[in-house]
Structure 1
Amino acid sequence: MGAEDLGATSRPYRTREVLEVKEKKTKKLTKKQWLTLCAIGSVHFSGAICISLQAPFYPKEAESKGANATEYGLVFGSFEFIAFFSSPILGRYMNFVGAKTMLSLGMILAAISAICFGLLDYIDDHATFITLSFILRMTESLGSTAALVSAFSITAAVFPKSVATTFATLEAFYGLGYIVGPTLGGLLFSLGGYVLPFAVMGTAMIIGTIFVFMVLPPINPSSNDFGHIKVKDVLKIPGVLLDSTCTVATSISMGFLAATLEPHIREFGLSSILNGLMFIISGGTYALIAPIVGRLCDKWVYPKKMLAVGALFIVASYIVIGPFPFLGIPKTLTLCIVGLVIHGFGLAGLMVPTFIDSICSAVAAGFPDDISTYGVISGLWSSSFALGAFIGPSIAGWLFDLVGFQYGSLFVISLHALLFFGIVIFVSCERKKRVSPRRVRMLSYVPPESGTSEEEEFIKKIASSWTDKITITANGKVTNSAQSLDKKGQESREEETKLKASENV
């Protein structure tokens, strides 16, 4: 079923006219919204720790059980593999289960899986150890993905007027968790061995689940039948498809660096602590810049233009880190650090706008502005990110062994250069009188008996002074109807005059 069918069968929705008008000042967040933001932030923080906690010590533990690098590498990769396939399904049926319920159940599943993962230390058999590692890693991924997909949807539902800013702030929580995870895991491992990091993490997540469940407001489900909106229908929207492609490409660039940065800078003879700090540079820059980019996308900058800027930053970062093999510039530690900072800027420019722009594109195409659409978009976004996170390290390792970092990075450079040109072509092909950067993005439910809203009266007042009147429909089509509107208005006034004259007679 396509977007038009969905729009016809759902509740009466209509677009707010998207005019370039001066917006009212945004109200400050209430205490309840701040608590909600902290609750959802804790979900992102714990979700990132689930991925990165065991990185410093699990490979050594697996080797002590007889596993090789390929086996425990696949254990790590299975997390993103499951996230890729489960995200669209979880997003599609979240409206049936309930966003708040799915988030809580997901966190509990991830917590129990983490605690059980710590108990693998007591298993000495190689086959049993690896098998259970795969199973528990997959269930942990399923729980974490369910929690994150729900968190994305709740963000769009609770903060509809500042989705990009809020999303960027929550991404800062995720980036912080990704940085803290390995550090915390290594510290707890040194204090209490293999079991302690997972026991602490699992217990903290269970306690956090109680806090999140108490703080989050009730999310009203959509009146649409569950499963009514399909991922394939959403992907038919060109804007959503472009945003998903950007998300995949961005996570590929992250995965490429995660797999090859350490051997690339090994010749500088850095200590393990300094090596760890090198990995923090890109993520730390992203965490600092993401809220700024989110604010820009919410208020002033067209998100797809920000995507083009982000793609250029990614290209520039790999040219500097390599450095680009055809420039003849020697590799230095300073260049690598500068390149990683630029990469953080690129991540912010590509990651933050995609979620809000996907929602806007889907809603503008006729999908309902409610939790059912948010769920599908959330699942699609998480799935796209997981796909890139799985592809990136896999290709990176193969290219590094084959041609080294400098020539291998040409893959990422070419990918993002093509992405940049694709975004530019897409934006230039859009109609010139498209949605304003200061537009109202979301659709709103307007009851039939509500009459004319305050916003519509304001828009009509502004539109009356225009030479050309513009009608923007749900699918983004612009119709110049100045002459037809003026003619109808004139005819209506003439008929009214004649009617009054006949009554006087």
Structure 2
Amino acid sequence: MAAYSKRQWMTLVVFSIAQFCNAVCVSLQAPFYPAEAEKKGATATQYGLVFGIFELTVFLVSPIYGRFMSKWGPKFINNAGILTVSIMCILFGFLDRMDDTNTFIGFSFAVRIVEAMGNAAFVTSSFSIIAKEFPKNVGAAFAAMETFFGIGLIVGPTVGGALYELGGYTLPFVSLGTVLLCASMMTSCCLPSSGAEANADSQNSRGQFLAALRLPSILVSCFAIMSASISIGFLQATLEPHLRPLHLTPLKLGLMFVLNGSTYALTAPCWGWLCDQRLAPKTVTTFGAVVVVIAFMLVGPVPFIPLETTLPLVISALVIHGVGFGAELVSTFAGAHRDVLANGFPDDLNTYGLVSGIWTSTFALGCFVGPSVGGMFLDAIGFKWATLFVAALHLLVALLTSLYMCLKKDEKVLYARVHECLSQTKDERNSLLFPASEECDSTYGSAGSSQENLPSIY
């Protein structure tokens, strides 16, 4: 970080603050919206879908933002997105005025859909700008920004629960939505403009999108991202009903929702550093998946483990989940950017927008499936049996990433050759003994001796 330029510091600080405020609003509903929905006569399946529709919308619109990132401009997309989220968060606080179940659920869906469109714009554009501004330290910069997102996940339920106790349902949404509104104004004024925002060729962008999805490494990463987000979405919709027999106060219940977020915030920089400097990202992904399996075996715990549901056991499981969840998210984001560059995609804003759109969209798909399926499973078989669904998914992630690494043992050699290609001048590349010169020139162009466009691979 000592080598970061003033522009890089400004970008990182602005996005970190915005991510913090965004996370506060995103995590706000979890401790008390399910109980409020049940007062209106809604079922777990219905309010689970309210959580899920947000992420389904993000899943559908994120690739669109990624595809047109250069044409519309990442700063404009970012500013419009965060402003929309703040306004919709405030409006969500007035839903308790509606007593009819169908009206309450219907307006919940409407507000969350518009809010999701803004959130997708903000997240996709911020990830694209971060990847562009920090080409050598994508993992570390992403992890630093996500640390503030994790802190926001701590503050949101905690402060939200306290404000709910103090002033009822409306106060948390209006108060914290206003804070995000102020953050959106700061972002608009302080975020540096991103250069090289030439109009993108829509047809070419579509071809690149499909080409990226055909890469086996990207498909494996997408499944890992989706499974990680399913785990957090599942807990959003089902943890509060699971903890009701423990008779926690709203404030204590809010604190339960911050445990995995706080652990994620603390460990994300470590995972970013490891992915940039020490380990292959898919090794970190495999470790994270195994850790999440352990967490979901304990959080219930699963019926075949002879343990009772106790507060210390749930706390331990949520902390373990935060460790594994962080490993999966950071490693998949850093790894996806490296994979597309190593497979010949141009090192420009279009590619960053493309990868960020895929990552955000896939993450959102899991966050839709998690609470939606979680609510249905909670109604049908109960929380303890339902956790097996998430544990099985992550066991499959661990197996797939391990299998991929076994089948792609030459990948480290490939990345090493790419590193050597980009570190040479064109004449030096032509004199390399191994036939990498034509491969480098055709794939990466004349990069010269500069390594500005080179991500750290191993």
Q: TM-score range by the shorter chain?
A: 0.7 to 0.9
Equivalent in the alignment of 1:46: 21
Partner of 2:449: none
Amino acid at match of 1:108: L
Cα distance in 1 for partners of 2:301, 2:250 equals 23
Aligned mate of 2:400, from 397, 405, 422: 422
Distance 2:225 2:122 in 1: 19
Are 1:117 and 2:92 counterparts?
yes
The 3 A distance-change label for structure 1 pair 181 and 335 is closer
| Partner deviation per Cα, 1:361-387 (whole Å, 9 max, x = no partner) | 112222211111111211111111111
Residues 395-441 of structure 1 deviation map (CA, whole Å, 9 limit, x = unaligned): 23333444444433322222222211111111111143625888987
Give the 3 Å change call, closer, same or farther, for CA 236–126 of structure 1 in structure 2: same
Equivalent position of 2:436 in the other structure? 471
Change (3 A) 1:63 1:392: closer
Q: Are 1:397 and 2:375 an aligned pair?
A: yes
1:239–1:280 CA distance, 2 compared to 1 (3 A):
same
Paired residue type of 1:137: R
Distance 1:183 1:122, change over 3 A: same
Equivalent pair of 2:293/2:395 in contact (CA under 8 Å): yes
Letter in 2 for 1:282: N
Structure 2 match to 1:186? 161
Residue of structure 1 equivalent to 2:450: none
Moved more, 132-141 or 307-316: 132-141
Q: Is the contact between residue 125 and residue 353 of structure 2 (CA under 8 Å) also seen in structure 1?
A: yes
Q: How far 1:347 moved relative to its partner?
A: 0.8
TM-score of the aligned structures, taking structure 1 as reference length: 0.77
| In 1: Cα distance, 2:169 partner to 2:247 partner | 28
Is 1:214 aligned to 2:186, yes or no? no
The count of residues paired between Structure 1 and Structure 2 equals 438
Determine the C-alpha separation between the residues in 2 that align with 1:430 and 1:87: 30
Look up the equivalent residue of 1:361 and give its one-letter code: D
Once residues 327 and 191 of structure 1 are traced to their aligned partners in structure 2, the CA distance between those partners, rounded to angstroms, is 39
**Distance verdict in 2 for CA 1:218–1:227, change over 3 Å:** farther
1:239-250 pair list within 5 angstroms: 239-250=217-228
Match of 1:228 among 184, 188, 204: 204
Question: Which residue of 2 is the match for residue 347 of structure 1?
Answer: 325
Match for 1:309: what amino acid?
F
Return the alpha-carbon distance in structure 1 between the equivalents of residues 410 and 62 of structure 2. 35
Pairing of 1:252-291 with structure 2 (within 5 A)? 252-291=230-269
Distance 1:60 1:305, change over 3 A: closer
- 1:456 paired with 2:399, answer no
Cα separation, partners in 2 of 1:133 and 1:437, compared to 1, 3 Å = same
Separation in structure 2 between the aligned mates of residue 146 and residue 348 of structure 1, nearest angstrom: 22
- Deviations 1:229-280 (CA, angstroms, capped at 9, x unpaired): 2232221111111111100011112223333334445555544444333332
Partner of 1:7: none
User: Aligned letter for 1:186?
Assistant: G
Measured after TM superposition, the shift of residue 191 of structure 1 is: 4.5
Contact between 1:363 and 1:442, CA under 8 Å: does it hold in 2? no
CA distance in 2 between partners of 1:459 and 1:293 (Å): 37
2:75–2:194 contact (8 Å) kept in structure 1: yes
Change in 2 beyond 3 A, CA 1:442/1:152: farther
Structure 1 stretches lacking a partner, 5+ long: 1-25, 445-454, 478-505
Larger radius of gyration: 1
**Structure 1 residue 39 displacement after superposition:** 0.9
- Structure 2 CA distance for aligned equivalents of residues 59 and 320 of structure 1: 23
Task: Give deviations 1:456-503, integer Å, cap 9, x for gaps.
Answer: 169959x97xxx7463846999xxxxxxxxxxxxxxxxxxxxxxxxxx
**More off after superposition, 348-357 vs 189-198:** 189-198
Structure 1 residue 153 corresponds to structure 2 residue 131: no
1:87 aligns with 62
TM-score with structure 2 length normalisation?
Answer: 0.84
Output the CA distance in 1 between the equivalents of 2:384 and 2:168.
Answer: 38
Residues 199 and 123 from structure 1, CA distance in 2 versus in 1: closer, same or farther, beyond 3 angstroms?
same
* Larger displacement relative to structure 2 (80-89 or 260-269): 260-269
- Unaligned runs of 5+ residues in structure 2 are 444-458
Asked if residue 293 in structure 1 is aligned to residue 271 in structure 2, the reply is yes
| Residue 216 to residue 337, structure 1, CA distance change in 2 (3 Å) | same
Q: Which amino acid aligns with 2:269?
A: P
1:152: how far off?
A: 0.6
Residues 154, 442 of structure 1: alpha-carbon distance in 2 compared, 3 angstrom cutoff: farther
Assess, with a 3 A threshold, how the Cα gap between structure 1 residues 474 and 118 changes in structure 2: closer, same or farther: farther
**Aligned counterparts of 1:325 and 1:127: Cα–Cα separation in 2:** 35
Is 79-88 or 41-50 further displaced after alignment? 41-50
Letter in 1 for 2:107: L
